[in-house]
A and B are shown apart, each in its own frame.
Chain A
């Protein structure tokens, strides 16, 4: 039960962070925030 809950939490967190990452490679600028180097795996997406 706890293991399933933990997996769901980590899975949701990973998805949220991935959304943030993909918004970082959109043509729009990152408001007032720092733009880190885009990783190679994301350059062709």
Chain B
């Protein structure tokens, strides 16, 4: 459905312009990304507003996305699976953050230990590619690894700021976002989605 919509829209642009400014395939690919992105993001926002977990869900989403942009990780094979997984995962994040309370000592210790583990995960596996996209250039790999470490360091500081401010839900949101992304970078994440690790 996403593909047929993209094909129709790119045809519409080309016929509206009267010439092919860009290849039809390029426009179709761009529209597929754009439509998929808009639909999924709007669904996550709607679900989080319905569940009354908007700030928690959004923070966990942006944390997850900021690390994922550079660390990569497993992607679903189809749009339907990507959509269901994404919306379900972030809805669940919001609910867990809001309704499950963890003793403060455990929370901060778990957070700190996990950030140390995620540093090792990054050094060993990031940036993790997919069947469609593999980062093989050594310089690019090192650069993406370095940026991931800087982002993780900033998020670690942010969790401690939230801890001292008493904003424990926001701390949990950052933690969950990083936890899920790090899981998707490891071979275990690839195993869960039955994808081959690249």
Interface of B is mostly: helix
B70–A28 CB distance below 8 A: yes
CA distance A37 to B132 in the complex (A): 6
Looking at A6, A7, A28, A37, the one whose CB has the most chain B CB atoms below 10 A away is A28
Contact partners of B18 in chain A: CB under 8 A? 7
Q: Does B135 interact with chain A (Cβ within 8 Å)?
A: yes
User: Could you tell me if A27 and B140 are in contact, using CB atoms closer than 8 angstroms?
Assistant: yes
User: Are B33 and A31 within 8 A (Cβ)?
Assistant: no
Contact check: which of A10, A18, A24, A29 meets B69 at CB < 8 Å? Answer: A29
Which residues from B are CB-within-8-Å of A15? 21-22
**Contacts known (A36-B36, A39-B26, A42-B29); A17 close to B75, Cβ less than 8 A:** no
| Cβ–Cβ contact B83 & A21, under 8 A | no
Residues of A within 8 A of B13 (CB): 10, 13-14, 17
Name the CB-closest residue of B to A24: B33
In the complex formed, the residue of B with least CB distance to A38 is: B132
User: Does B49 reach chain A (CB closer than 8 Å)?
Assistant: no
Give chain A interface residues in 2-41, CB to chain B under 8 Å: 6-7, 10-11, 13-15, 17-22, 24-25, 27-41
Residues of A within 8 A of B (CB): 6-7, 10-11, 13-15, 17-22, 24-25, 27-42
Other A-B contacts than A15-B21, A36-B29, 19 sampled, CB-CB below 8 A, are: A19-B30, A24-B29, A25-B133, A27-B144, A28-B70, A29-B70, A29-B75, A29-B127, A29-B133, A30-B33, A31-B65, A31-B68, A33-B33, A35-B130, A35-B133, A36-B36, A41-B25, A41-B26, A42-B25
